[in-house]
Structure 1
Amino acid sequence: MKIILTKDLPGLGFKDEVVSVKNGYGRNYIIPQGFGVLANKSNSKVLKENLKQTAKKQEEILKAAQKLSKKIGDLVIEFKLKTGSDEKVFGSVTTAQISKMLEEKGFEVHKKNISILSKVNNVGEYDVDLKIHKDLTHPIKINVTGDIVKPKKKKTVKKEDKPKDDVKDSKETSKKEVKNTSSEKVNDDSVSKESKKDTKESKKDTKESKKSKK
């Protein structure tokens, strides 16, 4: 359906502009909220009369918009976003942020009248359109720079250094254990030799005993 706007409606149009909208949006919001009327024959006739009477005023509004456009000029708004090493940004730039930055510079443009022409994914420049009048759109740029986020390093847990005295005692204990082990081995060898000697002597006595009996 076609609607004649009776007030500026950000994101849709300006006063006395004829716009096309969905039936539900027009009947349930625009008309009840007083933003516009149905563009029928009678209302269109009234619009023409109003435009004739307000032609001078409309001209002044357009001149004000042209003046604003000239002031904005070749504006570039800077944004710094966190990025990875591949220069891809974390997050994005919104029309609300651009509107706020413009306001800080003295330019009032509603966020719904701002269009970012491409998605902000990487660092670099992006084109933005500002609709400051129904017959005037002003282009600006935003420049996105990166703040590289370094990955967090894993904390390494250091082993506690033993005191020197403990290390010394540990070495001495180890030496003693080795010495004792060697000593035990020597004793075992001695016992084994004695045992073998006793066995030989026993065999010798047995042989002599047999000879004696014969």
Structure 2
Amino acid sequence: MKVILKKDIVTLGDAGEVVEVKNGYANNYLIPQGIALRATEGALRALDTERKQQAKKIEQQRIAAREIADRLQQLSLKVSAKAGESGKLFGTVTSGDIAEALKNEGVSVDRRKISLEAPIKALGNYEVGVKLFMDVSATLKVTVEAEG
């Protein structure tokens, strides 16, 4: 019997796949547990429509991410922090601080998408990676300056 998986199953496949299973397995376990549906013509058409909508949505998100990436590539961000005479910061500049500075520039990026290997502890110029989407990332130039 052919069924459409609603959830990922390690031994069968991923959600949305059409797989062939034995009748008893489908009727006694997969379908009653809500893990799969029978692969009828209507269900297959609905699955196809859903996949097309999902692909369209992903493409729109990718386009938006590319626009933000282009803007980040051109942006030179300045972050102010308290520092001593030697140029060492009294605290650190974290991805949260960078996200806040980006928000002030009009670009909204989640702090978890900003990849810092370690918090910034000294004044200077840095390049920070930002992963915006599955295959879209950008490099942001950050300058850490002393306050006042």
**TM-score in terms of structure 2 length:** 0.62
Q: Which structure has more strand as a fraction of its residues?
A: 2
Partner AA of 1:131 in structure 2: K
- What residue identity is the alignment partner of 2:137? T
One-letter amino acid of the counterpart of residue 46, structure 1? G
Alpha-carbon distance between aligned partners in 1 of 2:63 and 2:128, rounded to the nearest angstrom: 22
Partner of 2:135: 135
Task: In structure 2, list runs of 5 or more residues that go unmatched.
Answer: 1-6, 19-46
- Higher-RCO chain (CA-CA 8 Å, sequence separation at least 6): 2
The offset of 1:138, in angstroms, is 1.0
The corresponding residue for 2:33 is: none
Specify the alignment match of 2:34 in structure 1: none
The aligned amino acid for 1:89 is L
Question: Shift of the alpha carbon at 1:43?
Answer: 5.6
Cα separation, 2, equivalents of 1:139 and 1:100: 17
State, as a whole percentage, how many aligned pairs show the same letter. 24
**Does the CA-based 8 Å contact 1:118-1:126 persist in structure 2?**
no
> Aligned to 2:145, what secondary structure does the other structure show?
strand
- How many angstroms apart in 2 are the aligned matches of 1:104 and 1:43? 45
Answer 1 or 2: which has greater helix percent. 1
Give the alignment of 1:1-214 within 5 angstroms. Answer: 38=8, 40=10, 44-46=14-16, 52-53=51-52, 54-147=54-147
Residue 87 of structure 2 aligns to a residue in which SS? Answer: coil
Distance in 1 (alpha carbons) for counterparts of 2:71 and 2:79: 21
Distance 1:79 1:72 in 2: 15
- Alignment RMSD (CA, Å): 2.7
Higher mean C-alpha deviation, range 69-78 or range 50-59: 50-59
